[in-house]
Structure 1
Amino acid sequence: MSEAVGTRRQFGEGPLSRVAALIYSLLVVGLLLLLTTAPGVVALLLLERDASNLPLFAACALPLGPALSAALYALHRHRPDLTDLHPARAFWRGYRANVRGVLAIWLPWLLWLTVVAANLTYFAAAAVPDWWRVPLVLVAVVATLWGVNALVITSLFRFRVRDVARLALYFLVRDPVVALGNAGVLLAAVLVTAFASEAVLGLLGSPLVLALLRTCRPMISKIEKEFTA
């Protein structure tokens, strides 16, 4: 009996098993990401790339928030034991648990970014000085990085919406290294979309979510130590 247990542990916990477990979890979570965001992605691919469609682009991105939250939840709870993998179960548990809280953050965030993007797009028609572009771009960048922090926090912890908003802003200032790491992940996503397509970005969804978890690890650890009992 002890030999059987030892063999199981060796099989489930070796280096190759850990890599295989991670690849399996990434594949499953990636497929579920594609499934849950498919309506928005299909509609987005059919839309013409025109500034007048900005509100429709935002609507297409609405399913992305809960899906990313579920992926963050599932990959955060990934265990490298090949004999005990349930990424799909964790994904759907995270989706059900977080959908309301995430939408309370995601929807206003999308609306705000849409307003900023519309202002930048129709900047010339507003007849304002060109230097106003700089603060608008800075607002968009800060709002985006704040939104990433808020998404990670609300996906992994149980806080009120206003507390999530405050913590996201607090760690944006306290841990600029995390913000820089998140900016790098977002830049990679933008480059993939620009030089390939939204479909290719969807295929790389789970590795990008995993990268986001890695860059946010300092923030997650500090929240666990300082803000949870």
Structure 2
Amino acid sequence: MNDPVTAQRQFGTGPLSRIAAIVYRLIVVELLLLACVLPGLVPAVLLDRDPSNIPLYAACAIPLGPALSAALYAIAQHRPDLTDLNPAVDFWRGYRANLGGILRIWLPLLVASTIVAVNLAWFDAAGVPAWWGALLVLVAVAATAWGGTALVITSLFAFRARDVARLAAYFLTRTPGTSLGVLALAVVAAGITAYTSEAVLALAGSVLALLLLRTGRPMTTAIEKEFTQ
């Protein structure tokens, strides 16, 4: 017969308990993420999908950066133990700790993305060569991959903004699987938004954050071994 200590250790560590723990964490993180992005989500849903509103969409996306960073942090703290669940505490701890750092990355990224998007949206009216459009597309792809990796790094590590920028650029080629994964998730997010709405994308926020963490695991493992010891 198991003693009380052994029984306590076994409770909450089985397969069903581990599944229940991650599902519970994702649900709580999703609700908190929605609460944080709501000030930008509501006007974004109400805006007409017109190129002239691109700067307004960018402004609506400002709350998304800190909220997504907090979601990444909270999910990364997950432990497969049903008796040790504090997702809300982890989310707000990550939000407060990463707010300054993520804004130093997120705001310039939004500005650069807005400039590129506006130029592409009005490309025909600008009367510039076709190669310029191709260059803008390459810039957008690189910025997306860099931004995704920088977001993960800022959310999980306490580096200075310039060090985050350098590490994100370094790992674009060091771990190409991470870069491709970030781009794939960006395409999925864009597709969900295009064919449904921003609200549907927001409802999948915690799942996308989980996939982003899994995609960035080779990068975060390398950073832990090479830059934090």
- Using the size of structure 2 for normalisation, the TM-score is 0.97
Q: Quote how far apart the aligned CAs of 1:189 are.
A: 1.3
Question: Aligned partner of 1:147: which letter?
Answer: G
Equivalent residue, structure 2, for 1:205 = 205
**Aligned pairs, how many?**
229
Aligned partner of 2:142 in structure 1 is 142
C-alpha displacement of 1:130 = 2.0
SS at match of 1:12: coil
**Alignment-derived partner of residue 122 in structure 1:** 122
Runs of 4+ in 1 over 3 A off after TM superposition: none
Alignment partner, residue 102 of structure 1: 102
Sequence identity percentage: 63
Q: In the TM superposition, what whole-angstrom CA distance separates every residue of 1:62-85 from its partner, at most 9, and x where no partner exists?
A: 000000000000001111100000
Whole-angstrom distance in 2 between the partners of 1:123 and 1:194:
20
For residues 64-213 of structure 1, what are the structure 2 equivalents within 5 Å? 64-213=64-213
Unaligned runs of at least 5 residues, structure 1: none
TM superposition shift of 1:171: 0.1
How far residue 152 of structure 1 moved from its aligned partner, in angstroms, is 0.6
Letter in 2 for 1:65: G
Counterpart CA distance in 2 for 1:114 and 1:198 is: 17
Superposed CA RMSD in Å reads: 1.2
More divergent stretch after superposition (173-182 vs 203-212) = 173-182
Contact 2:145–2:172 under 8 Å retained in 1: yes
Q: Normalising to structure 1: TM-score of the pair?
A: 0.97
> Mind listing any 5+ residue stretches in structure 2 that lack a counterpart?
none
After the TM superposition, which of the residue ranges 172-181 and 70-79 deviates more from structure 2?
Answer: 172-181
SS at match of 2:12: helix
**Correspondence 1:28 to 2:52:** no
